[in-house]
A and B are shown apart, each in its own frame.
Chain A
Amino acid sequence: MTIGPVVGAGFGRVTVVRVAIILVLLAAWEALARSGLLFRDVVPTLSAIARAFVTLLLQPDFYTNLGWTVGEIALALLVGGVSGLLVGLLLGGSRLLGRAFEPYLYYLGPTPKIIFFPVMIMWFGVGPTSKVALGALSCFFPIALSTAAGMRQIDAVLIRVGRSFRATTSEMVTKIYLPAMREPIVNGVRLGLGVAMIATLLAETKLSNRGFGYLIIQAYSTFDMPRMYAVLIALFALAIAANALIGRFSAYRASRFR
């Protein structure tokens, strides 16, 4: 049972259903907002959210905070990604090391990372560095684990070819291992980006004076609900766009090299 034929036969119908769902949801929202069933402003009217969204986009402050958050996430991904990659190569390349340390990574991976935030504050202070550190810690695990798994599934023929050409270790890494592991690494980076984003933003909501997380918590503490919805919409749009971008990148690379 696949959705292929349905999509193929009725692309128009799918679009109609999508538009209908969105319209029903928006109408239900507006009805709820005007009904007075909930406390005032908990569910603001659509026009109030739209106004808040436009105001948000027009404020230079928004872009400064966006810059901080994007910078923190990028740095977290760089630090956590490079260390994850190195550890993954090490663990994937040695049976003994893999068996000794991978279970720890495997079981520590899904623990809630935000609880390490107090430690990160003690180590790196209350500024952006502690958010970067928490983001890096979060994305280290998925990237290390998928690199190690990817390394083990490399075709043995490729490795023998490299050896028979007497490739040095660095040549083996750059010419054989990394190109052969493109897919698992991109997958790891994708997972890593998601968790780094969550960790960084959550840390910003807990303790900071800039960034997207700060904007959310600031809207909460001033009870500016339309603004909070506006920031959340902007954040979700960015998160989905970033994810789609990496997905597109991996698909493009895979088709180019196949």
Chain B
Amino acid sequence: MSVATRMAPATLGLGTLVVVGAALEALIRGGAINRYIVPLPSQVLLAFERIVVEENVVHRFLLTTAETLVAGALITIVGVALGLLLNRVHLLRAACETWVAAFASAPIVLMYPLFLVIFGRSAVTIVMMGFVAALPPVILKTLEGLAATRSVLVNVGRSFNLTPAQMFWKIMLPAALPTMFVGLRLGLIFAMINIVGVEFLINFGGLGQLINELAERYDLPGTYAAIGFVVLVSVLFFYVTERIERWLRPA
């Protein structure tokens, strides 16, 4: 495949973005689109610098990242522990697995007013919301990984007369790790989405609050730039966790 053929899709994608941006710029300047509803793309690009300098974006970014990481640590500890427990006690698993799955598809983030009452308008509410919303995939994937350990591996362990502890550390855990990481990555993404969302909704904390504040000030280019910034950060986050996952499971 020649370089030109390989580059064609990426060029088309980027080119379309540029063309759409330029067309919007022209339409807004020509008055076809109201500039008090959609700001000029050039203004939005310029506003990036402004929000970085004036709105403490770096600090906000670090705050949101820290909240996500704390929620990530919590889901790792609690989610993996619950997954192990359910895998151990078959009866408990038979009773609870469908509940966890139902919990995973329920709109948990709607409970944020309840968390506000319990934890107050603070970072604890935001972290706890991220934690609770992101817990089910970690539990489910831990269970899935442990349950899917190939029986030949388990038999090898048995033929070596491994103790249950050795069996777990030498056979079950290494075999389950790749699937568990899928769950952790999903959990981290869920946590991040919910944390930014709740920051926006309760107008407190890092990047989510920035969007709310700029929108309330009716700073249009700033709002669009802040949304663009959060989208970039989440795409980057998604990309990096994907890379780490691939690096951890060389298939």
Contact = CB atoms under 8 A, between A and B. Distances in A.
Interface of A: 1-3, 6-7, 10, 13-14, 17-18, 21, 38, 42, 96-101, 103-104, 107-108, 110-112, 114-119, 121-123, 194, 197-198, 201-202, 205-206, 213, 216-217, 219-220, 223, 225, 228-229, 232, 235-236, 239-240, 243
> 10 smallest A-B Cβ distances: which pairs?
A99-B9, A118-B215, A220-B113, A100-B12, A100-B13, A100-B9, A17-B95, A111-B234, A112-B193, A107-B235
Given A100-B9, A100-B12, A107-B239, A118 B97 contact: no
Given A3-B94, A100-B16, A123-B37, A201 B107 contact: yes
B9 A96 contact: yes
B102 interface: yes
Given A3-B97, A103-B13, A240-B102, A115 B227 contact: yes
A115 B211 contact: yes
A110 B189 contact: yes
7 contacts: A13-B91, A99-B10, A100-B9, A112-B234, A216-B110, A219-B113, A232-B110
A18 B92 CA distance: 8
A134 B186 CA distance: 23
What DSSP secondary structure best describes chain B's contact surface?
helix
A101 B234 contact: no
B223 interface: yes
Given A14-B91, A96-B8, A108 B107 contact: no
Nearest to A107: B235
A190 to B, nearest CB: 8
B38 to A, nearest CB: 8
A14 B94 contact: yes
Given A14-B95, A108-B235, A118 B147 contact: no
A17 B91 contact: yes
Contacts of B147: 1-2
Given A201-B107, A202-B109, A232-B110, A115 B92 contact: no
Given A3-B90, A7-B94, A235-B110, A114 B201 contact: yes
B231 interface: yes
B200 A114 contact: yes
B114 interface: yes
A208 B196 CA distance: 21
Contacts of A206: 200-201
A144 B101 CA distance: 24
B116 interface: yes
A171 B95 CA distance: 47
Contacts of A219: 113
A92 to B, nearest CB: 14
Nearest to B210: A115
Contacts of A104: 13
Contacts of A213: 110
Contacts of A117: 200
Contact of B230 (A1, A111, A123): A111
A235 to B, nearest CB: 6
Contact of A235 (B37, B102, B107): B107
